Amino acid sequence: MKDQNNAMSSENLLVELFVEELPPKALRKLGDEFAAQLTQQLQSMGLTSPDSVTTAFASPRRLAAHVTQVLAKASDKAVQQKLMPVSVGLDASGQAMPALLKKLQALGADVSNPVAAVASLKRAPDGKAEALLYDSLVTGASLDTGLQKALEEAIAKLPIPKVMTYQLESDCALPGWTSVNFVRPAHSLVALHGKNVVSVKVLGLRAGNTTQGHRFEAAVSPVVLDDADHYAQTLARDGAVIASFAARKAEIARQLEAAAARIGNGVRPIEDDALLDEVTALVERPNVLVCAFEKEFLEVPQECLILTMKANQKYFPLLDAAGKLTNKFLVVSNISPTDASFVIGGNERVVRPRLADAKFFFDQDRKKTLASRVEGLSKVVYHNKLGTQGERVERVRVIARMIASQLGDTTLVAQADQAAQLAKTDLVTDMVGEFPELQGIMGGYYALNDGLRETVSHAIEDHYKPRFAGDALPRNTAGLVVALADKLETLVGMFGIGNLPTGDKDPFALRRHALGVIRMLVEKDLPLDVSALVQGAVPAFGPLITDASAALVDFMFDRLAGSLREQGYSAQEVDAVLALRPQRLGDVAKRLTAVRAFAALPESPALAAANKRISNILKKTDDAQAHVNEMLLQEAAEKTLFAAMQTVLPQAQSQWQAGDYTSCLQSLAALRAPVDAFFADVMVNAEQLDLRLNRLGLLKSLHTAMNRVADLSRLAS
């Protein structure tokens, strides 16, 4: 009957904290976590049903959650607890010992009649002994009590970027002030179960059914919420607020597209999901307006103008059909006046000085050549153990020349050397000083201004690439060379001074640099051996570092393995290929394809198992040489295997040399039957030394041939 009553009292729950403006970059996460933690706590107390659904709301001034099917009181629960061993709780005559009575009393049991108390207990085996068990009925939590605890826990576990401490006037009989800690000062609390207010209090606030709408455009103040189920509709109607973060974001995106469409000519707003999230967190009811700036500012590189509009003003620049910046931009306003001209004019006045600053920096920077700035890098500290940026540039040049000489002629060496010498010079320009995100990009523009060739300009701009996962690679070979040299200098230097990434800390982005090197070697299929590449960079440092090449190569292969698994290759496939440490990383994808095709063959499991067996045999001897004396073959099975190898191995060798790894492994499948027969009929460790060595030589030859593409033993289950 109790469960039935509880089901009848199930209602939807709404909780809202109304606060001062929340940090925009954290708002979405705060809203999601508040709702998730609240639901999790209610669930742990049995106040929700398995079908309960939670909806999170987050606006600049509120965090809220709507949870369906929340009970007014959780069901009572039968609980069985193990108290203590019988030998500890009862004496020899079966009477309760003081320790047992004390334990029962602590659990709320009636111990006025010890005999009856003992009689109510159960016994159960507990290892070699027997334990006393106590059955009790735990009363289910009421929603008032449960929500109080859930709110306190949810607030305590919020991922708050920085906690504020503020004062609230005491609401008790004694006058005074109470200190409260939260992300921003909170002003009201709503807690509605259906139409009823739940009696809870947090952050010095008692729950009610009223909140505030838009600062300027709410129809009423306060906004009264009649029930838990019409929160979003009531706020939209009476408060002029779109409470849902997702709905507000979608509305902004719709208005941005509509505003661009009205302008026409294929104009479109720049795509930037992070900016869209941030703007969504800044407005309660968005209103997109079209603004413009003077066309003369378009003489400045568009990256500078785009960055200043996005980073400083949270505007959405507009691009034409060719991807070029126009002199129009979109503003997401938080107010919707009848006459928007004042809002538009204000935003245009605000952006003008920012664009003027960018133009000034650009004009000033072009008065000095990049070459004239090289000396200035000697005054910029790179690392206290590795010297200045000037010294770093010289190391990058040495490494770049080494790589270029392997990939091209003297022209490539000269281009890579010049790009490496100038690549960091934009660090001492005014523009990059103001906008560090433009490093490399501005160097490319200034190189063209200095009359340098496009090849060098692109290499300077691209040498930071790939900057992130999915970023484009450098456009030309000179750019690839300098990008490789720059990342290798960082990796070799940091490993050489023992400055390695730990856990989630990687201040010099060594993981990203390693993946960048791997991507360039793999995707451009560069004819460079990874170990030789790392070792070749070490001499550029002289006595500044110790040689940590081996550890760095291990680090890079670990990064490669992780990347390949993320791309969908199985751990077995990756282990099989990387166990051989292939030095040409451009070959890795072909090897993986070959291994996957081989693993699908019916002969694969038996050959992989045989390969593992051969590996284990060969590990136990140092005498095996990949040489076979046909005259010493005695058993029919070893003769058959040798004959099959004479046919199959040359063919597989030829396919391997041609880079046809898939055919190479498939050719080896023909050896399955003779290999199985060999292990069934031949004693490898024969007592006669020459026979034993000959059979080990046969296995050594087979092992070498089978493991050219991958270590097939790793495929054995």
Q: pLDDT band for 171, please (50, 70, 90 cuts).
A: low
In the structure, what pLDDT confidence band is assigned to residue 281 with cuts at 50, 70 and 90?
very high
Res 83: pLDDT: 84
Q: Is the pLDDT of residue 78 over 90?
A: no
Q: Which of 106 and 379 is assigned the larger pLDDT? A: 379
pLDDT in tens, 98-134: 888 888 888 778 888 888 888 888 888 887 788 888 8
Q: What mean pLDDT is predicted for residues 579-593?
A: 94
Amino acid at 312: N
pLDDT of residue 493: 97
Q: Summarize the confidence of residues 356-367 as an average pLDDT.
A: 96
Label residue 602 exposed, middle or buried (CB < 10 Å: 0-12, 13-18, 19+): exposed
Helices (H) and strands (E) in the chain, counts: 27, 20
pLDDT at 5 over 70: no
pLDDT range class, residue 175, cuts 50, 70, 90:
low
Q: What is the mean pLDDT of residues 371-390?
A: 96
Of 604, 24, 8, the C-alpha closest to 314 is 24
User: How many CB atoms neighbour CB 130 within 10 A?
Assistant: 12
pLDDT at 191 over 70: yes
Q: Please give the Cα distance from 439 to 454 (Å, whole number).
A: 17
Bridge partners for 491 per DSSP: none
pLDDT more than 90, % of the chain: 74
| Residue-level pLDDT at 525 | 94
- Given this model, what pLDDT does residue 487 score? 98
pLDDT average, residue stretch 505-520: 94
pLDDT for 167 beyond 90? no
pLDDT at 560 over 80: yes
In this structure, are residues 31 and 58 in contact, taking their beta carbons and an 8 Å threshold? yes
Is the pLDDT at 322 greater than 90? The verdict is: yes
Cα 151 to Cα 37: distance, rounded to the nearest angstrom: 8
Low-confidence winner among 50-59, 107-116, 379-388, 454-463 (lowest mean pLDDT): 107-116
| Residue 172 binned pLDDT confidence (cut-offs 50, 70, 90) | low
Examine the pLDDT at 624 and tell me if it is beyond 60.
Answer: yes
- Decide if pLDDT at 315 tops 70: yes
Eight-class DSSP state of 490? H
What integer is the mean pLDDT of 256-261?
96
Q: Are 667 and 656 in contact (CB under 8 A)?
A: no
CA atoms within 13 A on the CB side of 381: 3
DSSP secondary structure letters along 552-565:
HHHHHHHHHHHHHH
CA–CA gap between residue 564 and residue 577 (Å, rounded): 11
Q: How far is CA 615 from CA 7, 11, 693, 713, in A?
A: 65, 66, 15, 8
Segment 272-293 shows an average pLDDT of 97
Q: What per-residue confidence (pLDDT) applies to 53?
A: 96
Contact (CB, 8 A) for 239 and 216: no
Q: Is 391 exposed, middle or buried (0-12, 13-18, 19+ CB in 10 A)?
A: middle
Task: Give mean pLDDT, residues 411-417.
Answer: 97
CA angle 207, 211, 213 (to 5 degrees): 165
The pLDDT of 498-505, averaged and rounded, is 88
- Widest CA span of the chain, in angstroms? 108
- What is the 3-state secondary structure of 28-59? HHHHHHHHHHHHHHHHHCCCECCCCCEEEEEE
According to the per-residue pLDDT averaged within each range, which of 453-457, 468-472, 615-619 is highest? 453-457
Cα 99 to Cα 105: distance, rounded to the nearest angstrom: 10
pLDDT above 70 for 169? no
Residue 75 — pLDDT band, cuts 50, 70, 90? confident
Of the pLDDT bands very low, low, confident and very high (cuts 50, 70, 90), residue 306 is very high
**Mean pLDDT of the region 450-457:** 96
Angstrom CA distances, 386 to 392, 398, 516, 659, 711, stand at 8, 15, 22, 42, 40
**Percent with pLDDT over 70 in the chain:** 97
pLDDT for 8 equals 46
Q: Residue 389: which residues within 8 A CB-CB, separation 6 or more?
A: 377, 378, 380, 381, 382, 424, 427
- Among 326, 441, 420, CA closest to 377: 420
Where does 91-153 show beta strands of DSSP type E? 122-126, 129-138
Q: Is the pLDDT of residue 6 over 50?
A: no
186-197 average pLDDT score: 96
pLDDT-based confidence at 2, cuts 50/70/90? very low
What is the average pLDDT score of the chain? 92
| Per-residue confidence (pLDDT) for residue 1, from 0 to 100 | 39
User: What is the predicted pLDDT for the residue at 99?
Assistant: 87
Confidence at residue 620, expressed as pLDDT on a 0 to 100 scale: 81
Place of tokens 């060098």: 456
With contact defined as beta carbons under 8 Å apart, do 63 and 34 qualify? Answer: yes
Residue 470 — left, alpha, or beta (φ > 0 → left; ψ -120 to 50 → alpha)? left
pLDDT 10s digits, 658-711: 999 999 999 999 999 999 999 889 898 888 888 989 889 899 999 988 999 999
Full-model pTM: 0.80
240-252 average pLDDT score: 97
